[in-house]
Structure 1
Amino acid sequence: MPVTALVSVKSVGVTTSALGLSLASKNPTLLAECDPAGGTIRAGLLGGKVDAGIGLYHLARAERTGPEALAHAFASHLWHLDEAGHRKLLPGLTDPAQAAALARTWPALADVLQVMAQQAGHDVFIDGGRLALEAGRLHPVFTPAALLYRADLVLLVVRGTEQSLTLARHVIGPLRGGLGENGSGADALGLLLIEEGSFKAHQVSESLGVPVAAALPYAPDVTYYLSSGGRPPRGYGRSPFLRHARTAAEQIGALAARRRLQQQYPPAAAPQLAGILQRLAEQRPAAEHHARGE
């Protein structure tokens, strides 16, 4: 299963998109709310049911003790978003001042999230919040840079509006550069399009020079519920938003799987592999004739 980080330049729906993907995926999911500016899910969708005693901040102290303490703390600070326990949440910070304490925790947390994806079989979504840059690079404290670098995919959430695309253009270069130098490659970057505005997916991709990995419909009633809690809107469980979110989660998983395969068998090896397959095909008739005694 993939680890997918969602980020934005401005508030365009990163948290609600991450929630939608986590709630709609056909696989078990984990949503890690890692926005250094603070989490909003506990006060929003969860309506204050989760207090400050549970969440991301407590992993910083555990990480300083060691990997075993971190693993134990991680498991004990997850909140179930459904009765079956298939949808898990790591609630975010309650105070942006806590972000500095997590600067050295991000790499260790990245390892834990990879374990949840590769060994525990969860679709892992990271709410990375708004990007912060310093001297043309991802800020090491105000952006969870280490989590982005270890993710299988990093999706910049944009809307199909001129304003959203204009703001997004300024971070494409630093994101690509950081993923190329410190991550799994610049091609880990994709777009998650919120279908608001006049620009279609192909136009957004052409404008930013980045492929649209998936899209979600503009659904104010559903996103308001996901961000504010309360009573879900009528028809929520069958809403186009959740249907599209499930499709988007499948597309994201397929894209991540293709990237892993390409990294395992880089393009340079493709002709060699093709040659091996051709020789095997040529040898098969001869082997069959030999087996029949011909």
Structure 2
Amino acid sequence: MPVTALVSAKSCGVTTAALACTLASKRPSLLAECDPAGGTIRAGFLQGEVGAGFGLYHLAAAERTGPDALAQAFASHLWPMDEAGHRKVLPGLTDPAQAAALGRTWPALSDVLHVLAEEAGYDVFIDAGRLALESGHLHPVLTPAPLLHQADLALLVVRGTEQSLTLARHVIDPLRTELAERGSGSDALGLLLIEDGPYRAHQVAEALKTPVLAGLPFDPPTAGYFTTGGRPPRGYARSPLLRHARTATEQLEAAASRRQIQQQYPACGTNPQIAGVLQRLTEKGGTRG
């Protein structure tokens, strides 16, 4: 199953999108809240049930002990998001000042997430927060760069508004170059569109010269519940956000599968006929617009 990292140029609903996909997945799933600016799920969706003694920051000390200690700490710091425990979250930082301690932890954490996806069959989503650049590259402290480098898919979350597209234009090319030079390849880059604003998927893809791999509707009641907690809105399980998130997870799995096959068999990407067959075999619904 894929490891998918979500980032934005500015607040565009990364955490909400990651939560929706994690909760809507048909398989066991995990959300790793790795925003260096600090996590919001603990105080919002989890309604303060999880204290500061639990979560991402505590993996840094374990990693310094060794990989086995990190793996054990990782497992013990996952919090269930449903009664069956099929959906879990690794709560994020409680203080942005903690981010500096995680510099050497990110690569080891990435390895653990990929083992969980590949060996245990989890859908893994990473909330990487707001993209920060330094001298044209991902900032070593303010962005969890190794998680983006090694992700099967790196999604820039955008809205269909002029403001969101303007901000995204400033980061899309540096992110693409970063993935090409230091990551698993520029073909890992895609867009996740929050359908808020006048621009449709094909217009967004054309403006940013990047494919829209999935879309989610603008659903303020459900997004508000994810952000602040409290009582779920009426019809929550059938809300537009969760219904379309189920489709989005399928689209992302299909995109990751196409990419994996193209890496194994490079001719698939250069032969139009083969590429067309591959597209049809792996498609599971298209993005609206």
- Which category describes the TM-score, using the shorter chain as reference length? over 0.9
Q: CA deviation at 1:265?
A: 1.0
Aligned to 2:217: 217
The one-letter code of the counterpart of 1:83 is: E
Please, what TM-score do these two structures have when normalized by structure 1?
0.91
**Is the partner of 2:121 in helix, strand or coil?**
coil
Q: CA deviation at 1:67?
A: 0.4
CA–CA separation in structure 2 for the residues paired with 1:151 and 1:215 = 19
Aligned to 2:286: none
Unmatched 5+ stretches in structure 2? 275-289
Deviations 1:241-265 (A, max 9, x none): 1110000000001100110111111
How many residues get paired? Answer: 272
1:38 aligns with 2:25: no
Aligned to 1:80: 80
The one-letter code of the counterpart of 2:182 is: N
Aligned to 2:146: 146
Aligned to 2:261: 261
Aligned to 2:167: 167
CA–CA separation in structure 2 for the residues paired with 1:233 and 1:132 = 34
Aligned to 1:204: 204
Q: CA deviation at 1:187?
A: 1.1
Deviations 1:111-155 (A, max 9, x none): 000001000100000000001100011001110000000000000
Alignment of 1:61-76 (within 5 A): 61-76=61-76
Would the alpha carbon gap of residues 216 and 54 (structure 1) be closer, same or farther in structure 2, given more than 3 Å must change? same
Aligned to 1:128: 128
Task: Give yes or no for contact 2:262–2:268 (8 Å, CA) kept in 1.
Answer: no
Q: CA deviation at 1:268?
A: 7.5
The one-letter code of the counterpart of 1:117 is: A
Task: Give yes or no for contact 2:262–2:269 (8 Å, CA) kept in 1.
Answer: no
Q: Give the aligned CA root-mean-square deviation in angstroms.
A: 1.2
The one-letter code of the counterpart of 2:144 is: P
Deviations 1:173-221 (A, max 9, x none): 1100110011111011000000000000000000000000000000001
**Is the partner of 1:88 in helix, strand or coil?**
strand
CA–CA separation in structure 2 for the residues paired with 1:270 and 1:222 = 42
CA–CA separation in structure 1 for the residues paired with 2:270 and 2:151 = 25
**Is the partner of 1:126 in helix, strand or coil?**
strand
CA–CA separation in structure 2 for the residues paired with 1:240 and 1:133 = 34
The one-letter code of the counterpart of 1:204 is: V
CA–CA separation in structure 1 for the residues paired with 2:230 and 2:21 = 20
Is the deviation greater in 261-270 or in 153-162?
261-270
Q: CA deviation at 1:269?
A: 9.4
Would the alpha carbon gap of residues 17 and 268 (structure 1) be closer, same or farther in structure 2, given more than 3 Å must change? closer
Aligned to 1:291: none
**Is the partner of 1:5 in helix, strand or coil?**
strand
Q: Percent identity?
A: 73
Task: Give yes or no for contact 2:219–2:241 (8 Å, CA) kept in 1.
Answer: yes
1:48 aligns with 2:75: no
**Is the partner of 2:124 in helix, strand or coil?**
strand
1:91 aligns with 2:120: no
Aligned to 1:226: 226
CA–CA separation in structure 2 for the residues paired with 1:34 and 1:270 = 36
CA–CA separation in structure 1 for the residues paired with 2:252 and 2:64 = 33
Off by >3 Å, runs of 4+ in structure 1: 268-271
**Is the partner of 1:119 in helix, strand or coil?**
helix
Q: CA deviation at 1:89?
A: 0.3
